[in-house]
Structure 1
Amino acid sequence: MISEKEILKKVLKIELRARFLAQQLFTGKYASSFKGKGIEFSEVRPYAPGDDVRSIDWNITARMNAPYIKEFTEERQLSVVFMLDIGASMHFGTSEKMKREYATEVASLLAWTSARNGDKAGLILFSSGIEKYIPPRKGRFHIMRIIREMLYAEPTARASDIQGALEFASRVFGKKSIIFVFSDFFTLDDARKLRILSSKHDVIGLRVRDRSEVTLPECGMVRIKDSVSARRCFADFSSRASRKIFSQRLSAEERMLDSLFNSAGCDLLKLSTGDDYVPPLLNLFRTRSRRR
């Protein structure tokens, strides 16, 4: 069993890298990628060359006999929620990291980036049911607790009920939040719950797969185990027919997942445990900034 000292060491290691990346690369891009809760009136001031004429307050302009404009500021503080699938299929990895650990590193970076913008962070862990819910709050120790739970919370079931987790999030969060959903999405086959959640919140899916789940390794006859049912069987990974079937099923699955997220109006970022997550995250932020 892992010791408390080892747990703290792991959490601090992830925290250190996340805080560095948040400070160096992500803070400004995050603020321009995710909208605040709304726009509120700030002040009226004299018009200056270059100001948008659509902002002129004509009532005050008439009274003062000089052009004045209204200024508005964005209400910035948001709740950022991390939903992590901790079902058995996320406890898999052929590279140096399990999918769950990789997802935790990405979430830690996003948590520290949001914290630097004054946002609160919360957590939902789920398998076949809701395993843990931590309401959004601020503070370093709060984020460290989130990292710890993402890494080490023990699931009570092997299966994953993504639909149930999405429904729980819809019930719990009233005000608009940013919701990052981390999963391999093997069990997502319907967009209705995703669509309901995204009608109130900004939902981003982060599909995490192991490299071997995306590209079949050439290693001959292998004994494999289903992570959810625990059934075992043999598969010939060197067989041309097997590789063709795998490729066809993967392509069909990718198209279905893209279609589900598109129909729900949500962004989907596809990540692989063998790859650096920084470039695709930066690309996601740039894409969202251009859409604002």
Structure 2
Amino acid sequence: MKEQHQLPRHSDGVNLTLPELLQYKNQAIRWLPPATSIWSQLNGQHRSNAKGRGMNFAEVRLYQAGDDIRAIDWRVTARTGKPHTKLFSEEREQPVMLLIDISQSMQFGSKLLLKSVQAAHFASLLSWIAVSEKDRIGAVIHNGHSLRDTRPTSRQQGPLNVINTLLTSHREIHNRNKTTQAEKTFSDALSHLHYLCPKGSDIAVISDFHSMREQDKQRLSQLRQHNRIQFVQISDPLEQGVTDYRGTEHVRDSRQSAWIDFSSAKTREKLSHHHMQHQEFIRDMARSLAIPLHHISAAIPLLQQLVSANSQNGGQV
């Protein structure tokens, strides 16, 4: 018998609420470097390879009693004949930018959560981690009909801005028939991110990447020139042909709807084949751009995946 997972607190798996995203504030401390990091945990590693906050050189001045002798500038000391010491200042806060895809292909879930809901959960956790590390957090949110953004902001206001914008953008999907807005593409979202993103940012792209195209490689390459990028793929087991259901069900995506016979092995094999083709495209794109690719399932609560990531290879189903 397969393990059954309970919904996260305050969540119904379909809608987004403020309490279910606020709960990650108290979880951020569990993944703060140097003990570990969210990325090393997703990779199933015990140690973090994340670069810690460092110190920038500020100036040289005459040595004073109590200065650390390890900071003595021996070159200046030899040239002047008087001991001088180097002064350092802590690195400035790092901008962290999220591209959160909650478009039509993300409005799907066969077991526990919609992929868009799981993406929002992970975005909330990343936001609280960022400000716990004294960084600024901002986001671009793509729901297929509009692009909403929050500029990088520090302290508690940063995550709250991201969460409130996520809630608004997620609600907008259900009211899409009442709007006349032109459709926004994944490429549009990347372009907006490129416009908004400060140089030297850490970027996390959270999506199922079903809307990513080969032509997006150029924009991603431009972003990567001055920033560090991570891909976070949200998936559902049914996309891989994995299901216990053996009946016929009416399903739909953003383009079409159909009756599918899940009792047919051929149907499940076709789903699996399509998934493998999609995975090959994403892996090739990530590999060619040297962008790390991480995996999160919408069928398992986020925190449960992260805690057991070392044994589950990033929580893939």
Q: TM-score with structure 1 length normalisation? A: 0.77
Task: State the match for 1:288 in structure 2.
Answer: none
| Larger relative helix fraction | 1
Task: State the match for 2:41 in structure 1.
Answer: none
* Contact 1:90–1:98, Cα closer than 8 Å, also in 2: yes
Letter paired with 2:131: A
Cα distance, 1:150 vs structure 2:
1.5
Cα distance, 1:105 vs structure 2:
1.2
Report 1:13-24 matches (<5 A). 13-16=20-23, 18-24=24-30
Distance in 2, matches of 1:270 and 1:213, equals 14
Q: Number of residue pairs matched?
A: 270
**Deviates further, 265-274 or 213-222:** 213-222
* Contact 1:83–1:180, Cα closer than 8 Å, also in 2: yes
SS at match of 1:199: helix
User: Unpaired segments of 5 or more residues in structure 1?
Assistant: 1-5, 285-292
Aligned equivalent of 1:102, options 118, 128, 132:
118
The one-character-per-residue Cα deviations of 1:100-133 (angstroms, maximum 9, x if unpaired) are 1111111111111111121111121113464211
Report 1:67-86 matches (<5 A). 70=86, 72-86=88-102
Distance in 1, matches of 2:262 and 2:166, equals 33
* Contact 1:27–1:113, Cα closer than 8 Å, also in 2: no
* Contact 2:202–2:227, Cα closer than 8 Å, also in 1: yes
**1:185 matches 2:192:** no
Letter paired with 1:59: V
SS at match of 1:124: strand
Report 1:120-139 matches (<5 A). 120-128=136-144, 130-139=146-155
Distance in 2, matches of 1:167 and 1:37, equals 31
SS at match of 2:131: helix
**1:204 matches 2:226:** no
User: Relative to structure 1, is the Cα distance of residues 198 and 82 closer, same or farther in structure 2, using a 3 angstrom cutoff?
Assistant: same
User: Unpaired segments of 5 or more residues in structure 2?
Assistant: 1-11, 38-47, 311-317
Task: State the match for 2:76 in structure 1.
Answer: 59
Distance in 2, matches of 1:210 and 1:133, equals 26
* Contact 1:26–1:282, Cα closer than 8 Å, also in 2: no
* Contact 1:222–1:235, Cα closer than 8 Å, also in 2: yes
Distance in 2, matches of 1:102 and 1:150, equals 12
Task: State the match for 2:132 in structure 1.
Answer: 116
Task: State the match for 2:279 in structure 1.
Answer: 254
**Deviates further, 272-281 or 193-202:** 272-281
User: Relative to structure 1, is the Cα distance of residues 142 and 267 closer, same or farther in structure 2, using a 3 angstrom cutoff?
Assistant: same
Distance in 1, matches of 2:290 and 2:163, equals 28
Aligned equivalent of 1:166, options 168, 187, 190:
190
Distance in 1, matches of 2:190 and 2:309, equals 26
Identical-residue share of aligned pairs (%): 18
Distance in 1, matches of 2:148 and 2:254, equals 20
Distance in 1, matches of 2:104 and 2:182, equals 5
The one-character-per-residue Cα deviations of 1:222-243 (angstroms, maximum 9, x if unpaired) are 23433211x2222222222222
Cα distance, 1:36 vs structure 2:
6.1
User: Relative to structure 1, is the Cα distance of residues 102 and 138 closer, same or farther in structure 2, using a 3 angstrom cutoff?
Assistant: same
* Contact 2:241–2:269, Cα closer than 8 Å, also in 1: no
Aligned equivalent of 1:225, options 251, 256, 267:
251
Letter paired with 1:143: P
